[in-house]
Amino acid sequence: GQQVMQIPQYQHVQEGEDFTTYCNSSTTLSNIQWYKQRPGGHPVFLIQLVKSGEVKKQKRLTFQFGEAKKNSSLHITATQTTDVGTYFCAGKETSGSRLTFGEGTQLTVNP
Amino acid sequence: DAMVIQNPRYQVTQFGKPVTLSCSQTLNHNVMYWYQQKSSQAPKLLFHYYDKDFNNEADTPDNFQSRRPNTSFCFLDIRSPGLGDAAMYLCATSNTGRRLPYNSPLHFGNGTRLTVT
């Protein structure tokens, strides 16, 4: 079945440093979604990418979808303490109905 | 504000004692999902309703059942909870069309944290 792998599992940064998490799928995806889950909270939708090579920005966050639609990345510029949380990617196979979540990257930011 | 509401926020049940978790939504979304999330893990899909159509995941234990009496409400029944069923249970909704099913973002509730004693 479809597998979505996410690295790194944990990332500790100093406030102001950049952060990147990577997501790789074993199969071609029709779309990929990114979610943020604060400690003790629930996942909150950030963005969806659909097109091959797509790049979207939300303030300090940059999301990319690979040309082959099998990988994606989330980059945060100049992290802040409010960025703390676990970032999940979730991909849907082209032929499937299920959204498969990656294992998430837990980000901690030291002030 | 339109939202997904889960009750209760915390639920304690005894080993083997049936428990029901509830979810309601004011978004009028046609798809409702139940996810199980254990500590430091990704949400795991248990099942979902596409309108009234129930879709079970192949690896969801028979111990877990669900009901969706109407568009707004969905229930998760755990018939005989075991210690391994202690987790956060997340309800989510999405609004998806027949032409592009399951391509829409998920809206999660706050979750119910289940403890089994």
List the CATH number of the domain containing B45: 2.60.40.10
Asked whether the predicted pLDDT for residue A83 surpasses 70, the reply is: yes
Distance CA A35, CA A107 (A): 13
pLDDT of residue B2: 64
pLDDT of residue B101: 58
Give the distance from residue A101's alpha carbon to the nearest chain B alpha carbon, in angstroms: 6
What strand order describes the sheet that includes A4-7? Answer: A4-7, A19-25, A71-76, A61-65, A55-58
Q: How many domains, in total, are found in chain B?
A: 1
Domains in chain A, ordered, with CATH? 4-110 (2.60.40.10)
Asked whether the predicted pLDDT for residue A61 surpasses 90, the reply is: yes
Strand partners, A72: A23, A65
- Does residue B113 sit within a domain? no
Q: Do B43 and A88 touch (CB under 8 A)?
A: yes
- Does residue B114 sit within a domain? no
pLDDT of residue B103: 76
Instruction: Kindly give the parts of chain B with pLDDT less than 50.
Output: none
- Does residue B17 sit within a domain? yes
- Does residue B56 sit within a domain? yes
Written as one letter, the residue type at A105 is T
Distance CA B53, CA A24 (A): 31
Q: Which residues of A touch B55 (CB under 8 A)?
A: 97
Q: Which residues of A touch B105 (CB under 8 A)?
A: 33, 45, 48
**Where in the sequence is the domain holding B90, given as residue range(s)?**
4-99
Chain center to CA of B47:
7
Choose among A31, A42, A102: nearest Cβ to B90. Answer: A42
